[in-house]
Chain A
Amino acid sequence: MPDPAPALVLRGAGRRYGERAALRDVTLELEAGRTLVVFGPNGAGKTTLLRMLATLLRPHAGEVRVLGRPLPGDGYAVRGRIGFLGHEALLYRELSGRENLRFHAKLHRVAAGRVDEVLDAVGMTARCGDPVAELSRGMVQRLAIARAVLHEPELLLLDEPLANLDPAAAAQVAPLIGVGGAGPSDRRTRVVTSHDPAGGLQGADVALGLKGGRVALLAAATDVEPAQIAELYR
């Protein structure tokens, strides 16, 4: 049963870094099980939005509710239910892929067998014993995806998930994250950032365009033309 309450509620949400406002007055709702795709030029605030939803950054203004809980107050209650894939892999470079995932499995109280399962799903079984420092960028990204989905989170926050992945790898991880190949394969809620208008809209339910930290576009994905998104980047 999908949760009847919206998975995400933002009302006038804002976030600053020092004096600079990175997000201003963001208002949106996302139903559970839906996919939100976020577009916007470099520095538009996409990463800031995702990190705020992941409880890594506290909102400075407005109201933010994730999986029904208000942030930052109830951050502890939603942390284990979120899978976050950021610009950085969040892996220790001197540990192997498997060691890193085992470490996260313990923190998330996930059975060790699940580690091998996700390693296989991202096609990293063969190289999972190598230190992360010795892997290619795409391989590290695959491990980062494995880490993000390890604990089968209800909410996936994916910041440019296909960065550095070759087409075959993108297709391989698609069933895990529901992005980039076949459409969503499960009822997870997703927030995905993208710079690719056509690819990003595919499989998305709602499209959000950010510009200078403000909402410049918010509409059902089916109603959005790629040209409107290209407009954001002008």
Chain B
Amino acid sequence: MMSAVAALLAKELTLELRTRESVPSMVLFSIATYVVFHFGLDRDRVTGDLASGVLWVTLLFSAILGVNRLFVAEYEQGGFDGFLLAPVDRTALLVAKALTLFAFLGIVELVAVPAFALLLLGPPLTQALPQLVLVLALANAGIAVIGTLVAGLAIQTRARDLIVPLIALPLLVPVLLAAARCATPLLSDGGAGALPGNWLAILAIYDLLFALIAYAVFDFLLED
């Protein structure tokens, strides 16, 4: 199982390095969105809950771009069948795809969060950075798991671009809500506030819940 996950993950990252289909478009999308917010809100700086909302809505929509493309190579190039023919636990594909999406989100945020701080954020980020990284990691885990599940569900359908946001966004609302609440005090004026522990716990529990759901139904999704 672990070696299969490693092989799948290596394949995934090699493909992305070669085709640059997901990460660059996700990065460009998020930066462009921050620029649009900059002008749309007609402000140089945002703080607190507004900042947190802008940050998360943008990251969420850019994540949808990645989710949309997550299984395209498998579907269009027969990778699914290649994988299904191998004597490998099918959960390996779920784990590898979720890890891939998690990695993509992390890379995107490496650029997008500093861009946000530069273009829009009022208070400096330095103080709150460790806590923000924790929130990002927990939210990314949720997006990765739910995104993989939805992408796996949508791939067989023709209207993938429609189905993915339609199913993923409602499922991701709790992630968005919790992550935004968590980040609000971190992005407030007057120094970073404390992390709201209850929202952080909700985020973690929601992640765990969907990890279990994905584990339970993913096999079934791959069945013909």
A binding-site residues for B, Cβ under 8 Å: 54-58, 76, 79-80, 82, 84, 86, 88-95, 99, 103-104, 106-109, 131, 147
Question: Across the interface, do A92 and B81 meet the contact criterion of CB distance under 8 Å?
Answer: no
Inter-chain CA distance A84–B85, complex, in Å, is 8
Interface residue? B79 (CB, 8 A): yes
With A58-B223, A95-B14 already in contact, the answer to whether A103 and B7 are too (CB < 8 A) is: yes
Inter-chain CA distance A20–B4, complex, in Å, is 36
Q: A56's contact among B10, B19, B77, B85, by CB below 8 Å, is which? A: B85
Question: Across the interface, do B84 and A92 meet the contact criterion of CB distance under 8 Å?
Answer: no
Interface residue? B42 (CB, 8 A): no
With A79-B86, A80-B86 already in contact, the answer to whether A92 and B7 are too (CB < 8 A) is: no
Instruction: Name the CB-closest residue of A to B3.
Output: A106
Q: B78's contact among A57, A89, A94, by CB below 8 Å, is which? A: A89
B4 to chain A, nearest CB (A): 6
A71 to chain B, nearest CB (A): 11
Interface residue? B40 (CB, 8 A): no
Question: Across the interface, do A94 and B15 meet the contact criterion of CB distance under 8 Å?
Answer: yes
Question: Across the interface, do B88 and A107 meet the contact criterion of CB distance under 8 Å?
Answer: yes
Inter-chain CA distance A91–B11, complex, in Å, is 12
Q: B224's contact among A56, A80, A99, by CB below 8 Å, is which? A: A56
Instruction: Name the CB-closest residue of B to A107.
Output: B86
B97 to chain A, nearest CB (A): 15
Q: List 14 A-B contacts (CB under 8 A).
A: A55-B84, A56-B85, A58-B224, A80-B86, A80-B87, A86-B81, A92-B77, A93-B77, A94-B15, A103-B10, A104-B82, A106-B6, A107-B4, A107-B88
Chain B: interface residue total (CB-CB under 8 A): 24
Question: Across the interface, do A56 and B81 meet the contact criterion of CB distance under 8 Å?
Answer: yes
Report B-chain residues with C-beta under 8 Å of the C-beta of A147.
82
B binding-site residues for A, Cβ under 8 Å: 3-4, 6-7, 10-11, 14-15, 18-19, 73, 77-79, 81-88, 223-224
Inter-chain CA distance A56–B224, complex, in Å, is 7
Inter-chain CA distance A86–B223, complex, in Å, is 18
Instruction: Name the CB-closest residue of A to B4.
Output: A107
Report B-chain residues with C-beta under 8 Å of the C-beta of A86.
78, 81
With A95-B14, A99-B14 already in contact, the answer to whether A90 and B87 are too (CB < 8 A) is: no
Instruction: Name the CB-closest residue of A to B6.
Output: A106
Question: Across the interface, do A57 and B87 meet the contact criterion of CB distance under 8 Å?
Answer: no
Inter-chain CA distance A56–B14, complex, in Å, is 26
11 additional contacts (CB under 8 A) given A88-B78, A91-B78, A107-B7: A79-B84, A84-B85, A89-B78, A94-B18, A94-B73, A99-B11, A103-B10, A104-B82, A107-B88, A108-B86, A131-B18
A123 to chain B, nearest CB (A): 22
With A95-B15, A106-B7 already in contact, the answer to whether A90 and B79 are too (CB < 8 A) is: yes
